[in-house]
Amino acid sequence: MNIENIEAFVYVIHFNSFNKAADALFLSQPSISARIQSLERELDARLFDREGRHFSLTEKGKQFLPFAQQILQSYKKGKQYLQQMKTSLHELRIGCTVSVSNYVIPELLPRFKKEYPEIQIKLQTASTESILDGILNKELDLGFVRNVTHPHVDSVAFYEDQIRLFVHKDHPFIDRGAVSIEEVGREPLVFFQCGSLDWMKIHRLFDTLDQPPTIEFHIDNLETAKKLVTAGMGISFLPELCVRREVEEGKLFPITIPSLASLSLRTNLISRKGEGPEFRKLFQELGRGFLAQKQLI
């Protein structure tokens, strides 16, 4: 429904005149009449009874009026709020996990600055728990975190990054269509541990093996894990987005494991309850554009 049509309807009632409504909206009288007619077509209802230069509200017009006034008032309040945010907010404090900080934020911030060039960005890289505390304590405005819930926080999905097995360029798994978890368990592993529930699925699958897997390295840093795999020190389960460059350069190769086809890391965007919806929405849109452009493996 066109907000301008609703605005014309409310103004005609307020001024009790098509001409005065047209003057207030800097329009011609025929333009006001055209907007009213368009609104009547959208509603499939006649809003005015017209007799020459005189008019009155129909019964349906009377019924619709309070809704039209509420819609117009909410729209104006929302528009005013966004304008105030643009003029009053000079700094946006963002917390994000390491992977988001390394592989996503550098792509999003230039796009954000095009929308809000006057806003300065303060970025803090930390764990999900620390970012949540920062949001609750009003030390951060937005947070990119693993999937969390809290009664005082609004949380929306930002993106999901599939977890896959990656090997170096000379590994024999490359020539295989798919491998089993038993075969993976016999290989030296570089295990990148990020603490999510999906990583626990890998642990549970390994627990079903007759022999425990050969974990040569427990790593808490993605870049270190990638370099060890590239150097032939083992194979590793890694998020796709984080190894996209190495795959494009032919340094790492994804391997299919049918029993682990649905593993992913989910990143959510959080803010304090009722605050920052316009920035959450903007970053969601930027994220969709970024992920579509950077089609994953």
Domain range summary for the chain, segments of one domain joined by +:
3-88, 89-297
Residue 135 scores a pLDDT above 80: yes
pLDDT band at 234; cut points 50, 70, 90: very high
Segment (H or E) for 183: helix 181-185
The total number of residues shown for the chain amounts to 297
Residue 66's pLDDT band, with cuts at 50, 70 and 90, is: very high
217 strand-pairing partners: 190
Cβ neighbors of 222 (< 8 A, separation 6 or more) are: 98, 99, 102, 192, 238, 239, 242
More confident residue, 89 or 145: 145
List pLDDT tens digits, range 158-209: 888 888 899 999 999 998 878 888 888 889 999 886 555 456 677 777 777 7
- Classified as helix, coil or strand, 152 is coil
Architecture label for domain 3-88? Orthogonal Bundle (1.10)
Average pLDDT over residues 112-138: 89
CA distance 297 to 291: 11
Tell me if residue 234 falls in helix, strand or coil: coil
Confidence (pLDDT) at 297? 38
Residue 124's nearest CA partner among 153, 151, 145, 108 is 145
The CA radius of gyration of the chain, in Å to the nearest whole number, is 28
Flag whether the pTM goes above 0.75: no
Residue 124 has pLDDT above 90, yes or no: yes
Token pair for residue 196?
């999510």
Q: Is the pLDDT of residue 34 over 90?
A: yes
Residue 230 CA, distance from chain mean position: 32
The pLDDT, as a whole number, for residue 198 is 53
Considering the chain, what percentage of its residues have pLDDT values greater than 90? 33
Class of domain 89-297: alpha beta
pLDDT exceeds cutoff 60 at 84:
no
Q: What is the mean pLDDT of the chain?
A: 84
Residue that wins the pLDDT comparison between 63 and 258: 63
Backbone φ, ψ for residue 236 (5° rounding): -150, 150
